[in-house]
Amino acid sequence: MAMTRRAKKQGTASFTGFSKAGMRFLADLAKHNDRSWFLPRKHVYETELLEPLQALVADTSEALRLAKIPIGAVPTKSIFRIYRDIRFSRDKSPYKTNLGAYLAPTAGEPHEAPGGIYIHIQPNRSFVAVAFYELDKERLNRWRTAMAKDPKAFQTMVRALERNGLKISQEHVALKRMPRGFEDQVDSPIARYFRLGSFTTGEELADGDVGSKRLISRVVAVAKKAKPLLAYGAKIG
């Protein structure tokens, strides 16, 4: 996390919450998603949203370090751009209407690094997720192989999450049928999890959380609750 501490020394302000003006900007952007509206107001995005998001990433990384959770980030590398890639999309809206940041298992890792924390900021739709998201073919096969070899270990992880008030999301079901090579697991007590392409859990965030520095402690609390998932994924690699 040394890079995070250096970023703080270079003048990154402490996170105190996203302002009402910033959240209003996102709500208005959803109604006026075009360059002619955005460009004259870009300074609002930069001061009320981008700068606080950078501070949030830096301060949350430090809080995770103190909590001995090996996840962190560099503010300039961990934040998703607000500009949408519209090259292959039917929706030509140029801007995202939310903020996003991904804190990876090792500070400075790219967005694709698995087993990290995703923070999503959007009026009335904010959330924090601990995610092994859209695993590549090789890594997903390792997960499924481990699950087939020792289903009890996976069940133990799921039950530990549930005791902490979390569940593996079923929103990212990749397959309607059992994946090829694992058809014999159809009667497994964890059969439904073989069809997942992502293993994620998390909690929704109220606008009151987002507008306060307590957002940092909320993120850390979810990470602590999700330790069983993080530990399970770390063993698989």
Cα(163)–Cα(138) distance, rounded to whole angstroms?
30
Cα(223)–Cα(129) distance, rounded to whole angstroms?
8
Q: What is the pLDDT of residue 7?
A: 43
Q: What is the DSSP letter of 49?
A: I
Q: Are strands 99-103 and 126-132 parallel, antiparallel or unpaired?
A: unpaired
Place of tokens 């997942």: 196
Q: What is the mean pLDDT of residues 27-56?
A: 97
- The CATH number for 94's domain is 3.30.930.20
Q: What is the pLDDT of residue 107?
A: 46
Neighbours of 81 (CB within 10 A): 9
214: containing domain: 2-236
Average model confidence (pLDDT) across the chain: 91
Q: What is the pLDDT of residue 67?
A: 96
Q: How far is CA 96 from CA 7, 28, 195, in A?
A: 26, 12, 30
Within the chain, how many helices (H) and strands (E) appear? 11, 4
Residue 237 has which token pair?
């690699």
Helical residues (DSSP H) of the chain, grouped into ranges: 2-9, 20-31, 35-38, 42-45, 51-66, 75-78, 137-149, 151-163, 207-210, 214-225, 227-236
Instruction: List, for residues 113-163, the tens digit of each pLDDT value.
Output: 678 999 999 999 999 999 999 999 999 999 999 999 999 999 999 999 999
Question: In the structure, what pLDDT confidence band is assigned to residue 112 with cuts at 50, 70 and 90?
Answer: low
When divided into structural domains, the chain yields a total of 1
Longest dimension (CA), the chain: 59
Instruction: List, for residues 171-211, the tens digit of each pLDDT value.
Output: 877 799 999 999 999 999 999 999 999 999 999 999 999 99
- The identity of residue 18, as a single letter, is F
Residue 178 has which token pair?
């059992």
Q: What percent of the chain has pLDDT over 90?
A: 81
Q: What is the mean pLDDT of residues 22-45?
A: 98
